[in-house]
Amino acid sequence: MVADAPDVPDAPDTKSRVDGRTLAQLTGAKTVANVALRWIPPFLPTLERAFGATTTQLTTVLGVGETAGLSTVFVGRHLDRGRERAVMIGALGLVAASAVLALAGTLAAFAVSFVLLVLGVSNLTVAGQAWISHRVDYQWRARSLGLYETSWAIALLAGAPIVAVLINIFGWRGPFVAIAVASVLAAVLVAATLPPHAPEIHLDRVDAAAAVDGTHPQAQAQARPAPQAQQRAQERPAPQEGQAQAQGQPRAEPARVSSRARRSQARAHSDARARSRPGSMGETGTACGACRDAARRRVGRRTAPPGYTPSRWARWTMRASRVR
């Protein structure tokens, strides 16, 4: 008796989608970080007076600071292990730290704070996208990512007027203080909302190594033979190998034709057809029977002869169609 194979666990729900409240909280947290990044260019004259710098100096700081976005290359492996929550909390902490550091009011402090700001915003973006991708099925994933990325537009549509009001009331330090407080609150909200554990493996994220080794349940189910096929395999008699050798009869080897001989034969048939074809395109040539049969077989198979280039195969099929 053959032991029964273990049952394959039920597949996860393919209609799973992220909770609307959780998605709104993630979008709000990303909006705070995007406001911290996007309000600086429109209010650059205000910052010039605050830091005693020129437009060239501030734009140079902005350009060099954008290179901090390359850090997402190194954070990606942590996101693949299900650490999106920790990355998002750390990114919001960097946004808050950058706002506090900018309150010093010097160009050097602003340069360091902008590098921290880009680090936080870029890693928060990829962490949120990874969190949604790991937990939402395909039919809801693009929609959820689209809603999450609306924070980029909301940051300027709603954030810029709020920043302008804060500057008019509290001066240039007002937006930095508000962003620092909002970032801390967003980090606390993310820590309290998102689960700390990694997500379960979805059907569309099967581990390649497990699938190759056969340890994954799906790989085991695919490798398991069907009952009918297994029964037919047991009833089929075993092949009698070496029967011809036992009777003293040598086994006939199939005739082997080299690729060069096949190419030469195909070229000879092609030249014979070219010589026997009349000049008119509409008339049918009187080629040899072997050429006609070979052409019909190749048209039926729709495969190029050995050694033929695509252009030669196109000419061959054109001639074969006229033969038919």
**Rounded to an integer, what distance in angstroms lies between the CA atom of residue 212 and that of residue 218?**
11
Does 50 have pLDDT greater than 70?
yes
Band of residue 1 on the pLDDT scale cut at 50, 70, 90: very low
Q: 37 with 161: CB under 8 angstroms? A: no
* Distance spanning both ends of the chain, measured CA to CA: 59
pLDDT at site 316: 65
How far is 217 from 200, CA to CA, in rounded Å?
Answer: 14
Query: Contact at 8 Å (CB) between 160 and 42?
Result: yes
pLDDT tens readout for residues 271-319: 666 555 544 343 444 445 555 566 555 555 555 556 666 666 667 666 6
Q: Which of 293, 299, 273 is nearest to 284 (CA)?
A: 273
Q: Are 296 and 323 in contact (CB under 8 A)?
A: yes
How far apart (Å, rounded) are the C-alpha atoms in residues 96 and 179?
7
Mean pLDDT of all residues belonging to the chain:
75
Say how far apart CA 127 and CA 78 lie, in whole Å: 9
Give the whole-number percent of the chain exceeding pLDDT 70.
57
Q: Tell me the pLDDT band of 10, cut-offs 50, 70 and 90.
A: very low
pLDDT of 205 strictly over 70: no
Q: Helix (H, G, I), strand (E, B), or coil: what is residue 226?
A: coil
The dihedral through the CA atoms of 143, 149, 153, 156 has a sign that is positive
Specify the higher pLDDT residue, 261 or 174: 174
Q: Give the distance, in angstroms, between the CA of residue 178 and the centroid of all CA atoms in the same chain.
A: 37
Asked if residue 252 has pLDDT above 80, the reply is: no
pLDDT digits (tens, 9 = 90+) for 228-251: 555 555 555 555 545 545 455 555
Q: What is the pLDDT of residues 135-185, one digit of tens each?
A: 888 888 889 999 999 999 999 999 999 999 999 999 999 999 999 999 999
**pLDDT interval class at 20 (50, 70, 90):** confident
Instruction: Using a pLDDT cut of 90, give the percent of the chain over it.
Output: 42
Q: What is the pLDDT of residue 46?
A: 93
Inter-CA distances, 35 with 99, 144, 212, 263, Å: 11, 21, 46, 69
For residue 77, count CB atoms less than 10 angstroms from its CB and return exposed for 0-12, middle for 13-18, buried for 19 or more: exposed
pLDDT of residue 138: 82
Tell me the whole-structure pTM to 2 decimals: 0.57
C-alpha distances in Å from residue 178, one per residue of 104, 116, 232 = 15, 17, 75
Question: Is the pLDDT at 322 greater than 80, yes or no?
Answer: no
Residue ranges of domains in the chain: 20-199, 259-323
Please give the CATH architecture assigned to the domain spanning 20-199: Up-down Bundle (1.20)
